[in-house]
Amino acid sequence: MSLPLEGYRIVDLSRLAPGPFCTMVLADLGADVLRVEEPGGGRRARAEREYLEGQDPRELRRQFAFNAVHRGKRSIALNLKHPAAQRILHRLVERADVFVEGFRPGVVKRLGCDYETLRAINPRLIYCSISGYGQDGPYAGLVGHDINYISIAGALGMLGPKGGPPTIPYNFLADYAGGGLLAALSIVVALLHRERTGQGQYIDIAMTDGVLYLMAQAAVEFFLQGRVPRPGEMRLNGGAPYYNVYQCKDGRYISIGCNEPWFWENLCRALGREDFIPHQHNREKYPEIFSAFRQVFLTRTRDEWWEYLRSYGDIAVAPVYSLDEVVNDPQVRHRRMVVEAGEVEGETVRQVGIGPKFSATPGRIGSLGAVTGQHTDQVLAELGYTPQQIADLRQQGAIE
């Protein structure tokens, strides 16, 4: 059974979270993804692997095999500061459909792989740059990470308890959603456009833009009424008792999402507080409701509340899981969102499964993550390099 992106070739020059996640999505859906990496994995990778010095080299294979964002991809190690390595990259681009990079603006030009250079080689190429602030504007050259991008976009300022400091989320918002996932969608749209017109194009993904894009609905109240969203004050970020988390008897938490009045009514009845039903949106009543709910939820454990409330009927409720609980949840397992992806050194590798479910062309995990340069010789042979030429390139320091 063919996959949706089977036959498309992706050259991936990205390094950190957003780019590799983007190309993981494309690989899961059938694209042939080639990671172009710096020999040794680059300065950051070498620094992060210092703790492995003197240990069994098989541990390195485990690190890559368990890293889901590397799955389904091959790896070639090119020293792009070397002219011969740049020529190899150009040959790869000749037959590629997509090129992905995640450097700060200007770096790819120094490496001989900016859009203008590669477009001259392959006019049909879809070229996607993923950066923190985009390719232009006063912040374009600034360094940053997820926490910085969600700060500029306004998301971090909306997260946390009322009157308290911002609550730092894991790096899902900018790196994975506003960056990698939006890039994957944009690439597929560009490929669709190319199928219709034959035209390649350049895609400029700024993670800050992506986060603000995700906040389209959150910004409505500000644009409509001029009200600035504050942490712990909005109905969806902790300001309302009907959409909140409550600590239970065992110290764990239950989440309540009863936005609809009929869900709210059911919740109040289940908790024995029918008197709160008319006050779902009465802010003056919120301190009393919060106090009562916090006390009642402390009377049972989280799982006892989960069983009771979900069986009561039409109450939006769920336990707040830690990751070790997530992987054993029956719904997560039924949806195959935790899978056995293969084996490395005799050990079963578990990974997160594939998100989108297609009826005719379901995705698949093609292979475990390859160590840096694992497929260098194979890829060069496919380009027509002889074993002697490959040996010469390795001796020159152009490849690893």
Compute the chain's Rg from CA coordinates. 25
- Contact predicate 282/231, CB 8 Å: no
Amino acid letter for position 119: R
Strands 201-206 and 73-77: unpaired
Task: For helices 387-396 and 83-94, give the axis angle rounded to 10 degrees.
Answer: 130
> Edge to edge, what strands does the sheet with 73-77 contain?
73-77, 32-37, 9-12, 98-101, 126-131, 201-206
CA distance 351 to 341: 6
Question: Both tokens of residue 277?
Answer: 């039903």
Question: Both tokens of residue 202?
Answer: 């350049």
Closest CA to 98 of 200, 206, 205, 204: 200
Question: Biggest alpha carbon distance in the chain?
Answer: 83
Give the bridge partners for 350, in sequence order. 340
Q: Tell me phi and psi for residue 223, to 5 degrees.
A: -70, -30
CA distance 184 to 205: 10
Residues labelled as active-site residues: 145, 175
- Contact predicate 26/71, CB 8 Å: no
How distant, in Å, are the alpha carbons of 11, 91, 249, 256, 301 from that of 386? 22, 15, 68, 63, 67
Whose tokens are 């294979």? That residue is 61
| Dihedral angle of Cα 147, 148, 150, 155, to the nearest 10 degrees | 90
Cβ–Cβ contacts within 10 Å for residue 231, how many? Answer: 20
